[in-house]
Amino acid sequence: MAKLDEARALIYIMVTMAAADAQLSDRELNRIGSITDTLPIFEGIDRDVLVEQANACCAILREEDGLDTILTLVHDTIPLRLYETAYAVAVEVAAADLHVEQEELRFLQMLRDALDIDALVIAAIERSARVRFRLPSAR
């Protein structure tokens, strides 16, 4: 297996997050596309590369220890300076459906553990997502 670069490792995180509940929704896929279109780390990544990496990630996830493999790849690829970004993009994809499933929460926990992210940083990232994805009140 070829070594990933930072951007592709972040794509693996987003795809794994979207696949955590076994249902890749259009909202999640659109959010992944939006993130890769806007964040500077993904400069030069076009939709063809995104699809190629998503397929490669899904192939790994189908393996017996696929999730552990993904977490190891991510941990070994992403530098410390991008740990918070990695968690933030995962939360962003999880929040896209406006409801986070138990499997998605479990993956977020596993990602936090793998990257050893500070609890205050986690709280700030999650709070920010809740605020951005809050539904309007009934009128």
Does 1 reside within a domain? Answer: no
User: Per the confidence metrics, is the pTM higher than 0.85?
Assistant: yes
Does 138 reside within a domain? Answer: no
> pLDDT tens digits for the chain (139 residues)?
557 899 999 999 999 999 998 878 888 989 999 999 999 999 988 888 898 999 999 999 999 999 999 999 999 999 999 999 999 999 999 998 888 889 999 999 999 999 999 999 999 999 999 888 877 765 5
CA distance 11 to 52: 10
Count up the domains in the chain and report the number.
1
Does 137 reside within a domain? Answer: no
Does 104 reside within a domain? Answer: yes
**Do 69 and 63 touch, CB atoms closer than 8 A?**
yes
Domain of 112? 6-132
CATH code (residue 83): 1.10.3680
76 token code pair: 């070994």
Cα Rg of the chain, angstroms: 14
